[in-house]
């Protein structure tokens, strides 16, 4: 069986295709037989409990880990913008906000590591997008969790990606912070027409924004469009307890009975 | 003997060049050692390098060569990312330090020719530095400085966030390896003349000064380099003037300078807030 991550020309609107992919670490299988694709302009949420392998899927897309079975086809030269979990970043680094966002342009650095005027423009536009241009000289480590998240999103935008991958961007934020970050991601997807894949363990946070959901449970993945997850019993069966999707003020809410 | 007279002596000039070059090399890499939180690795690699010298002396072959080979091997092993199980990477580094130190002592003790140089492995002997050593140090310093000039931003990005850097088109493992390679090469070349104490000290103290005073990494690097130059120059003069052991004197001078900087910063900070 093929075991590879290959860059290829994929026909149609598909950017990434998982063909019977198994993923794991050190001989231990985390996910089995993944079959799904990510299309242009998708807004996909990957949802599941902590430790189920959501980040592993992102890492297989970025090439950090290879499939133990099956193959991942990726549209050639696809530019991937990555928003890492901010808790993974060490605050000993004395960066300004601008320093962090400029990293999104480092693949284009000229001789002696100089940024061009175009690079600087893109950095400032990215900061505008996340509404933090006025804080560009502020130390990154002094920011709040939500502001840091915005900076990391701006860094990914500065890379000018075709597909943006976000790993738990609302972790450890309060409800207002969660909403602001999700509204920003929503806006980026719609205004820039950017394909977005977001990983979260909180269904209620991403429910009103994403258009498709990939549910991870017991080493397997099930893809559903957002309109179809309200089907009788689907969510309850997935979570192993009585869970309903209701509507309050026009917004979907998750209710555990 | 006046300071001018001291500086006119050939051996003092050689020692000065040597300590300045080691200072510049180690202070640049020390900033990475602190940022990457691998300070303990700094002393372990220095000790492995000392073991390399001891092996070379014991076997009657070039101690520089054995030191270089063993140091690069250690750096390669520590660079390889491993998933930590029940034994952490830090404890393996500690183990390496202890075993390398113990073996060095045994090899020196059992080698009459090397025994007279036993102390050198720890505290070095800058006053015996040869022209050839200075040339090698200068070549390595230029190479490390050039790598910094061309790839500084990428080194910093992959040290901060290797996963994102890799996804965004920067080959993290390559640039990370270049940082470790620079560290191994610099420690191995500096160890022979500076000794474990001097090399480790200059990996830590100048960089600490840089972090204490400045808030931007290029300035931290510059501050660390200037600090190492000042410490080397005045520490060496004090050492020759009062006939104190060279490397420990330079390090003590550097330590005193750092403590003074901490006090000045604390007092000025307190006054500022008042």
Contact B168 A107 (CB under 8 A): yes
Each residue's pLDDT tens digit, A6-55: 766 665 688 999 999 999 887 788 999 999 999 999 999 999 877 888 99
Contact with chain A for residue B164, Cβ under 8 A: yes
Question: Taking Cα atoms as reference points, which of A59, A81, A73, A62 lies closest to residue A162?
Answer: A81
Tell me the chain A residues in contact with residue B220 when contact means C-beta distances shorter than 8 Å: 94
> How does residue A1 score in pLDDT terms, banded at 50, 70 and 90?
very low
> How does residue B119 score in pLDDT terms, banded at 50, 70 and 90?
low
Element (H, E) at A57: helix A54-62
Does position B271 have pLDDT exceeding 70, yes or no? Answer: no
Per-residue pLDDT, averaged over B102-131, amounts to: 78
Per-residue pLDDT, averaged over B174-185, amounts to: 94
What pLDDT was estimated at residue A77?
82
Contact with chain A for residue B110, Cβ under 8 A: no
Contact A160, A137 (CB under 8 A): no
Each residue's pLDDT tens digit, B38-85: 999 988 999 999 999 889 888 888 888 999 999 999 999 999 877 766
What pLDDT was estimated at residue B210?
96
Per-residue pLDDT, averaged over B95-100, amounts to: 94
Contact B170 A96 (CB under 8 A): no
Each residue's pLDDT tens digit, A237-247: 777 777 777 77
State the smallest CA–CA distance between residue B147 and chain A in angstroms. Answer: 10
Cβ contacts from A onto B, under 8 A: 80
Each residue's pLDDT tens digit, A170-215: 988 888 999 999 999 999 999 988 999 999 988 888 888 899 999 9
Q: Which residue of A has its CA nearest to B172?
A: A64
The CATH code of domain B3-265 reads 1.10.3470.10
Contact with chain B for residue A103, Cβ under 8 A: yes
What pLDDT was estimated at residue A181?
94
What pLDDT was estimated at residue A11?
57
What pLDDT was estimated at residue B27?
95
Contact A97, A137 (CB under 8 A): yes
Question: Taking Cα atoms as reference points, which of A168, A171, A204, A161 lies closest to residue A38?
Answer: A161
Contact B157 A155 (CB under 8 A): no
Q: At what angle do helices B131-160 and B172-213 cross, to 10 degrees?
A: 100
The share of chain B scoring above pLDDT 70, in percent, equals 93
Q: Which residue of A has its CA nearest to B211?
A: A94
Does position B171 have pLDDT exceeding 70, yes or no? Answer: yes
- DSSP codes, chain B: --HHHHHHSHHHHHHHHHHHHHHHHHHHHHHHHHHTT-HHHHHHHHHHHHHHHHHHHHHTS-HHHHHHHHHHHHHHHHHS-----SS-HHHHHHHHHHHHHHHHHHHHHT-HHHHTTHHHHHH--GGG--HHHHHHHHHHHHHHHHHHHHHHHHHHHHHH-HHHHHHTT--HHHHHHHHHHHHHHHHHHHHHHHHHHHHHHHHHHHHHHHHHH-SSHHHHHHHHHHHHHHHHHHHHHHHHHHT--HHHHHHHHHHHHHHHHHHHHHHHHHHHH-
Which of A109-123, A152-166, B72-86 has the largest mean confidence?
A: A152-166
Tell me the chain A residues in contact with residue B154 when contact means C-beta distances shorter than 8 Å: 106, 109, 113
Contact with chain A for residue B163, Cβ under 8 A: yes
State the ipTM, two decimals: 0.90
**Higher model confidence: residue B83 or residue A150?**
A150
What pLDDT was estimated at residue B170?
95
> How does residue B270 score in pLDDT terms, banded at 50, 70 and 90?
low
Q: Which residue of A has its CA nearest to B85?
A: A26
Contact with chain A for residue B171, Cβ under 8 A: no
Each residue's pLDDT tens digit, A60-73: 999 989 999 999 99
Does position B126 have pLDDT exceeding 70, yes or no? Answer: yes
Contact B37 A92 (CB under 8 A): yes
In the block, tokens 């050039």 appear at: B146
Contact B215 A81 (CB under 8 A): no
The share of chain B scoring above pLDDT 90, in percent, equals 61
What pLDDT was estimated at residue A9?
63
Contact A62 B167 (CB under 8 A): yes
State the smallest CA–CA distance between residue A112 and chain B in angstroms. Answer: 5
Strand blocks (E) in chain A: 3-8, 14-25, 28-39, 43-47, 69-75, 80-83, 163-167, 195-200, 212-217, 220-225, 243-248, 251-256
What pLDDT was estimated at residue B1?
66
């Amino acid at each position: 069986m093929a075991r590879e991550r290959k860059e290829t020309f994929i026909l149609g609107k598909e950017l990434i295709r998982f063909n019977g992919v198994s993923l794991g670490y050190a001989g231990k299988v985390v996910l089995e037989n993944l079959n799904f694709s990510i299309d242009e302009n998708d807004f996909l949420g990957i949802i599941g409990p902590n430790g189920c392998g959501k980040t592993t899927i992102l890492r297989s897309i970025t090439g950090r880990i290879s499939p133990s079975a099956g193959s991942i086809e990726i549209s050639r030269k696809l530019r991937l913008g990555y928003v890492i979990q901010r808790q993974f970043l060490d605050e000993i680094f004395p960066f300004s906000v601008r320093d962090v966002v400029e990293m999104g342009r480092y693949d284009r650095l000229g001789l002696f590591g100089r940024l061009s005027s175009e690079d600087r423009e893109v950095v400032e536009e990215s900061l505008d997008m996340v509404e933090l241009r006025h804080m560009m000289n502020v130390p990154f480590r002094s920011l709040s969790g939500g502001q840091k998240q915005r900076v990391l999103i701006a860094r990914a935008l500065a890379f000018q990606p075709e597909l943006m991958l976000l790993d738990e961007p609302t972790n450890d934020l309060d409800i207002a912070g969660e909403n602001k970050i999700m509204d920003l991601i929503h806006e980026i997807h719609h205004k820039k027409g950017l394909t977005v894949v977001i990983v979260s363990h909180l269904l209620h946070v991403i429910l009103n924004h994403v258009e498709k959901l990939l549910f991870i449970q017991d080493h397997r993945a099930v893809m559903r469009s957002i309109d179809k997850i309200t089907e009788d019993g689907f969510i309850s069966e997935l979570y192993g307890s009585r869970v309903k999707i209701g509507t309050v003020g026009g917004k979907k809410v998750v209710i555990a009975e | 003997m006046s300071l001018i007279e001291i500086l006119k002596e050939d051996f003092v000039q050689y020692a000065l060049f040597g300590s300045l070059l080691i200072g510049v090399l180690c202070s640049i890499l020390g900033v990475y050692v602190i940022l990457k939180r691998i300070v303990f690795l700094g002393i372990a690699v220095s000790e492995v390098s000392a073991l390399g010298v001891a092996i070379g002396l014991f076997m009657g072959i070039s101690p520089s060569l054995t030191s270089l080979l063993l140091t690069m091997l250690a750096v390669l092993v520590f660079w390889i990312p491993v998933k930590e199980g029940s034994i952490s990477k830090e404890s393996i580094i500690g183990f390496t330090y202890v075993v390398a130190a113990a073996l060095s002592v045994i090899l020196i003790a059992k080698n009459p020719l090397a025994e007279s140089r036993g102390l050198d492995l720890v505290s070095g002997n800058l006053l015996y530095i040869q022209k050839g050593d200075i040339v090698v140090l200068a070549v390595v310093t230029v190479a490390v400085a050039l790598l910094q000039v061309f790839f500084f931003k990428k080194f910093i990005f992959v040290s901060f966030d290797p996963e994102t850097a890799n996804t965004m088109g920067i080959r993290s493992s390559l640039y990370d390896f270049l940082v470790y390679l620079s560290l191994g090469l610099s420690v191995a070349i500096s160890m022979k003349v500076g000794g474990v104490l001097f090399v480790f000290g200059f990996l830590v103290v100048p960089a600490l000064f840089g972090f204490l005073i400045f808030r931007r990494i290029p300035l931290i690097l510059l501050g660390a380099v200037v600090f190492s130059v000042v410490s080397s120059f005045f520490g060496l003069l004090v050492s020759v003037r009062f006939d104190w052991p060279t490397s420990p004197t330079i390090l003590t001078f550097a330590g005193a300078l750092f403590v003074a900087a901490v006090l000045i910063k604390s007092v000025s900070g307190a006054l500022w807030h008042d």
